[in-house]
Amino acid sequence: MEKEKTILVTQSSMPSLDEYMEEISPIFESKWLTNNGEKHQQFEAALKKYLHVKNLTLFVNGHTALHTALSAMEFPSGSEIITTPYTFASTTHAIVQNGLTPVFCDIEPENYTIDPDKIEQLITDKTVAIMPVHVYGHVCNVDRLTNIAHKYNLKVFYDAAHVFGVTYRKKNITEYGDISMLSFHATKVFNSIEGGALVYRDQNLKAKFDLLKNFGIADAENVVATGMNGKMNEFAAAMGICNLRHVNEEITKRRRIHDHYMQQLGGVNGLILPKEQADVVSNYAYFPVIFDPNRFSNNRNDVYARLSQHNIFARKYFYPIITDYACYREKYNNGTTPIAKWVSDNVLTLPMYADLSLEDIDRICKIILEK
Ligand SMILES: *Cc1c(COP(=O)(O)O)cnc(C)c1O
């Protein structure tokens, strides 16, 4: 039998080799490779323009950005941050690495984002902030979250790693909340190989973030904070500049793929597909499908295994939930977030990238629907 073509869950977007070569050629003349070089400055400016935001700071990756956002706040150790367990390791790690305590709130079943109805009961006199996650390109209920934050005087830090370019009511989603973290990792809708950024409301934070991402070095003889090395290098910035030129086109292609999946899988009993949100323009970052074990003929693990046998690699994302990680399960009880647990046990994200062909989608869907 002929070996079946391999389809991975994602494939990184890249410019042409010529375009990238042209972008990096000045670096070979300047020999300035990192530390706020010319490409770094150009990329930061280009992103602000693209996202229509005033305050943005680049980082070497999204996680370092999120870590730095929290450390810049200088919250007392042991302060509590309300977040969800339905996310990637980074969100919780950033909280714990800063000596803060994550408090896990359940998600709502429509969009897999934090459930605003369950937040207030978790607030204590140690709560300092909420860290919700915009999941898959869906956005959190930012209006309700803003109200809760005002009522209790809490900060809101969004993990916005999945929502590059997404708008809500015609505003970039990073305009909501105090700080949002974007990731430009190779697997995201938009990448700079590795990379990330913070977008924030308070312009005074710029100097602090720039300090903290460079070891806290204020000048040649003064180190004033316990910072880290969070700087983006010139080659990554050059990749970001190139990819930014094509990102709208990439998102348009993703929408076509999303629509084709919806056509093939829509209306099948027991499959829960992504839903459109009012006033949101999505980036179609992922195509999550829930295989309801009581209503669909095969459970998630069976579908995953069957796709793998055909060299198609979907992803159990997010699975397991954070509170089931070996490093956290002794400390936290996952019984308090039953919806997150259920979604995590039954979800697969299907292959999704701009250059995935419609024929490949047909092949994937046929295997999923085989009895
Ligand atoms: C990718 C991702 C991150 C971390 O971003 P990196 O750039 O890989 O450090 C954080 N949170 C979520 C939800 C992510 O998907």
pLDDT over 90, % of the chain: 97
DSSP letters for 182-243? EE--TTSSS-SSS-EEEEES-TTHHHHHHHHTBTTEEETTEE-S---B-PPPHHHHHHHHHH
Cα–Cα distance, 289 to 271 (Å, whole number): 7
pLDDT of residue 333: 76
Contact (CB, 8 A) for 316 and 348: yes
- Alpha-carbon dihedral of residues 242, 134, 145, 122, nearest 10 degrees? -140
pLDDT band at residue 4, thresholds of 50, 70 and 90? Answer: confident
Host H or E run for residue 348:
strand 347-350
Residue 36 in contact with residue 44, Cβ under 8 Å?
no
- Distance (Å) from CA 15 to ligand 1 centroid: 22
Give me the amino acid identity at 295.
Answer: R
3-state secondary structure of 81: strand
* Ligand 1 atom closest to the CA of 66, numbered from 1: 10
pTM of the model: 0.97
The pLDDT-based confidence of 1 (bands split at 50, 70, 90) is low
Task: Inform me whether the pLDDT recorded for 292 exceeds 70.
Answer: yes
Separation of alpha carbons 7 and 352, rounded Å:
10
* pLDDT of 3: 78
Angle between helices 358-369 and 300-309 (to 10 degrees): 130
pLDDT (tens digit, 9 = 90+) per residue, 303-317? Answer: 999 999 999 999 999
Tokens at 72, concatenated:
């810049």
Contacts of 329 (CB under 8 A, 6+ apart): 323
Report CA Rg, the chain. Answer: 21
Determine the pLDDT at residue 48.
98
Instruction: Indicate if ligand 1 lies below 6 Å from the C-beta of 93.
Output: no
Contact 88 CB / ligand 1 (< 6 Å)? yes
The best mutation among 60, 88, 96, 107 to test binding of ligand 1, ranked by most ligand atoms within 8 Å of the C-beta, falls on 88
Distance of CA 261 to CAs 81, 189, 248, 306, Å? 37, 18, 20, 18
CA distances from 49 to 46, 178, 209, 245 (A): 5, 19, 20, 12
Show the tokens assigned to 145: 């979250």
Site to substitute for ligand 1 among 90, 162, 315, 344, most atoms within 8 A of C-beta: 90
Q: Whose CA is nearest to atom 10 of ligand 1?
A: 90
Q: Which atom of ligand 1 is nearest to the CA of 188?
A: 1
CB 40 within 8 A of CB 58: yes
Q: Is 98 exposed, middle or buried (0-12, 13-18, 19+ CB in 10 A)?
A: buried
- Report residue 2's pLDDT band, with 50, 70 and 90 as the boundaries: low
How large is the average pLDDT for residues 130-152?
98
Q: Is the CB of 61 under 6 A from ligand 1?
A: yes
Q: Separation of 160 CA from ligand 1 center, angstroms?
A: 8
pLDDT digit string (tens) for 58-78? 999 999 999 999 999 999 999
Q: Report whether 57 contacts 44 (CB < 8 A).
A: yes
Could you give the CA distance from residue 345 to residue 328 in angstroms, rounded to a whole number?
18
- Tell me what the pLDDT averaged over the chain comes to: 97
| 311 SS3 class | coil
pLDDT of res. 371: 78
